[in-house]
Amino acid sequence: MRKVVLLGLDGAVPTLVEEYVAQGLLPHFKQLMDDGYYTRALSSFPGVTPINWACISTGAYPGTHGIVDFEIHEPGEPLNAKHAAFSSNQLLAETLWESLGRQGYRTATINFPGSWPPRSPGITIAGEGSPASHSRFELRASSCFATDGFRSTLRDADPLQMPHDIIHLVPEWDAHGYGPTIAVMLEQSNAGPRIRIQSVDNVVEPFDHVCEINHFSPWFQGKFLVQGSLRIGFFRVLLSALHTDSTSPDVSLYISQVMPTDGISEPDAVGRELIGAVGPMLENSGGRGYERGWVNDEIFLEEGIYKGQWLVKAAQYLVTHNRAEAIFIKWHFLDHLEHLFWGQIDPLSPWYEPDRAPHFESLFQAAYRAADAMVGSILNVLGPEDILVVVSDHGHIAHLKAVSINNLLVQEGFITLKSRDPVEVDWDHTIAYAGPCLGHIHINLKGRDPQGVVTPQEYEMVQQRLIQTLTALTDPETAQHPVQLAIPIEDGVGFGQWGPRAGDVLYFMEAGYTGDINWFPLTTDGTVLLPMTRSLVATADYGEGQFIASKFQSAHGCGLPSRKLGRGTEEAILCLRAKEFHSHPLTYQRGVRLVDVAPTVSSLLGVLPPSNAEGRILK
């Protein structure tokens, strides 16, 4: 049976891929371009992760597959209610792996959005998205233990007392759990002071390890009591800083994310089998450690690449052991890297510093070369008849200014507040509310919303007032309108948006401006427009309801999917290696959309597409 592997590279930007191919850095991408099919592709609005991996996997538009925003608002719930959009429970359309499974293929998904919990037979591995800070599969998020001298500059670090201390890796969300205990000691050697770690309790095999600066230890196995069950978890330790030039030594010790050996796959035995064959899984590839100052950018890169290599090794194992004919993988690291550092490589950005740009360019090149190596590793286990798809869900452009849509709605009388400090909305007197995340405004409609105040007769008038308010917003510095376009949902069909989960008004930001509600929520000061600067520091995490826009040096999804700005573009990449495309030259074909992927793959395999697919077959 003809095999297919789909490698998803979240946030892979066409401009960078094409630039690095031209420089000779990506030989396997060059091979795909020369021997297969390559084009830029358009995402569906809003161009963000859960929406567009659903478009890729189902061949359907957001209005059909139901993932219309980064998070989901269900009609009939309070206007600020929202649900995670990565879960298969929210997906209303059939996926390609489900369709292929119905038609006799053995399938496997690895860290692919919309695949967990499994809805059909097949292999499913840790597939609820790609965590930047926490994961439902982990036993403990990555952490840091530091002495007082370092803790003042590190965020959320746990205390460490030297020259000797015992640290406890208790699951941070389980008050009744326990985990391994580790002794941390300062020693004197012929080469000078050094840090030694030794297991004390609750480990599978005792360890005694001397730490080197910015070098990970081997993987250790700990015993964790989690919600009354004993589970085994893998973790590594890294000495990220050591100062011994005073009477009180300062130490910073980074602990990787702790991933279990069970509960990460369905069937459960497959996860354990893969860990035994290719090593411990690391799901977190986000900037949690870097943002808090626990590790440097090189370690952030190293962990992200480790995850990508694990995903591909797992896929290679499944192919070579004849466990699946159709495999779907998604690596999120490029997206994390770009959000953190895009401003360092794009001269248009307020974060750009010419003296530091070469260093960050090298990080981007290393990450894209890692993606290229992943492509090569998959090609090595596929036969000439087999198919490889390499696709991203969106691109990236520079983030210049952030807009709080809900602060604007307060200013213009659409939202009424009970208090400003803390911010509390008076829902009984609120006309409309933007959210859950980006692109949607929900009108507080009588008969639909629990505290509705707008009558059906007033509905269209309120839509028009909202549209006029959004498009009239002006940037006083440039006289530009940050909201490029606003439309009633009735016109949303042209952008793939419809259905009960969609907002009543859709808004599209001008390139460089963001209007993400989670990035810039209601604030006590009521600020509507805020330029990004290097001095504007945000310390909250996503989902905490605080301002975090300045954590993101790049943006995507807030505007039209064809927008370009500076060094970037919001377009996605699409590569196809199949015998049908061997004679096809390198082509930039306009109008290709991510919904075209599933129908095209189905056609190449000679099977029916997913039952809800709306895309076309690429010829």
Q: Is the pLDDT of residue 88 over 90?
A: yes
Strands 229-235 and 237-243: unpaired
**Which pLDDT score, from 0 to 100, does residue 110 have?**
96
Mapped onto helix, strand or coil, the DSSP state of residue 390 is strand
Strands 220-226 and 229-235: antiparallel
Examine residue 280 and say whether the peptide bond preceding it is cis (omega within 30 degrees of 0). Answer: no
d(CA 54, CA 52): 5
pLDDT digits (tens, 9 = 90+) for 27-51: 999 999 998 999 999 999 999 999 9
Mapped onto helix, strand or coil, the DSSP state of residue 274 is helix
**Which pLDDT score, from 0 to 100, does residue 504 have?**
98
Look over the chain and give the mean of its residue pLDDT values, rounded to a whole number: 95
Q: Is the pLDDT of residue 392 over 80?
A: yes
User: Of all helices (H) and strands (E), which one includes residue 259?
Assistant: strand 259-260
Check: CB of residue 46 under 8 Å from CB of residue 586: no
User: Of all helices (H) and strands (E), which one includes residue 301?
Assistant: helix 297-320
Does the pTM of the predicted model rise above 0.95?
yes
Percentage of the chain exceeding pLDDT 70:
98
Mapped onto helix, strand or coil, the DSSP state of residue 345 is coil
Helix axes 268-278, 297-320, angle to 10 degrees: 110
Mapped onto helix, strand or coil, the DSSP state of residue 253 is strand
Residues 6+ apart with CB under 8 A from 134: 141, 284
Strands 181-189 and 326-331: unpaired
Q: Is the pLDDT of residue 563 over 80?
A: yes
C-beta atoms surrounding 535 within 10 Å: 7
d(CA 607, CA 599): 9
Write the DSSP string, 328-339: EEEE-HHHHHHH
The domain defined by 401-551 folds into Gyrase A; domain 2 (3.30.1360)
Mapped onto helix, strand or coil, the DSSP state of residue 115 is coil
d(CA 208, CA 440): 54
d(CA 550, CA 529): 12
Based on DSSP, count helices (H) and strands (E) in the chain, helices before strands.
14, 34
Give the torsion sign (CA, 438, 443, 448, 452): positive
Mean pLDDT across 186-201: 91
Mean pLDDT across 164-175: 92
Residue range 4-136+264-393+568-605 in CATH 3.40.50.2000: no
Percentage of the chain exceeding pLDDT 90:
91
**Which pLDDT score, from 0 to 100, does residue 469 have?**
98
pLDDT digits (tens, 9 = 90+) for 194-214: 999 999 999 999 999 999 999
pLDDT digits (tens, 9 = 90+) for 466-478: 999 999 999 999 9
**Which pLDDT score, from 0 to 100, does residue 588 have?**
57
Residue with the two structure tokens 């090593």: 279
Q: Is the pLDDT of residue 358 over 90?
A: yes
- Residue 462 pLDDT grade (very low, low, confident, very high; cuts 50, 70, 90): very high
pLDDT digits (tens, 9 = 90+) for 237-252: 999 999 987 667 899 9
DSSP state for residue 594 in the 8-state scheme: G
- Residue 65 token pair: 């597959």
**Which pLDDT score, from 0 to 100, does residue 265 have?**
97
Give the torsion sign (CA, 586, 588, 589, 591): positive
Length of the chain as a residue count:
619
Q: Is the pLDDT of residue 587 over 60?
A: no
**Which pLDDT score, from 0 to 100, does residue 540 have?**
86
- Residue 586 pLDDT grade (very low, low, confident, very high; cuts 50, 70, 90): very low
Q: Quickly list H helices, 435-481.
A: 459-472
DSSP state for residue 541 in the 8-state scheme: P
d(CA 358, CA 363): 9
| Closest listed residue to residue 79, CA positions, set 366, 560, 599, 504 | 504
Write the DSSP string, 60-105: --HHHHS--SSEE--TTS-TT--EESSSGGG--S--HHHHHHHTT-
d(CA 265, CA 147): 38
Sequence spans of domains, the chain: 4-136+264-393+568-605, 143-255, 401-551
Q: Is the pLDDT of residue 52 over 70?
A: yes
Write the DSSP string, 546-572: S--GGG-SEE-SSS-TT-EETTEES-E
Mean pLDDT across 152-163: 94
Helix axes 297-320, 357-379, angle to 10 degrees: 10
**Which pLDDT score, from 0 to 100, does residue 246 have?**
65
- Residue 539 pLDDT grade (very low, low, confident, very high; cuts 50, 70, 90): confident
User: Of all helices (H) and strands (E), which one includes residue 52?
Assistant: helix 49-58
Mapped onto helix, strand or coil, the DSSP state of residue 44 is coil
**Which pLDDT score, from 0 to 100, does residue 591 have?**
87
Please return the burial class of 458, using the count of CB atoms within 10 Å of its CB with bins 0-12, 13-18 and 19+: middle
Mean pLDDT across 405-413: 98
Instruction: Output phi, psi for 177, to 5 deg.
Output: -90, 175
Q: Is the pLDDT of residue 416 over 80?
A: yes
**Which pLDDT score, from 0 to 100, does residue 521 have?**
97
Comparing 581 with 226, which gets the higher pLDDT? 226
Mean pLDDT across 127-137: 77
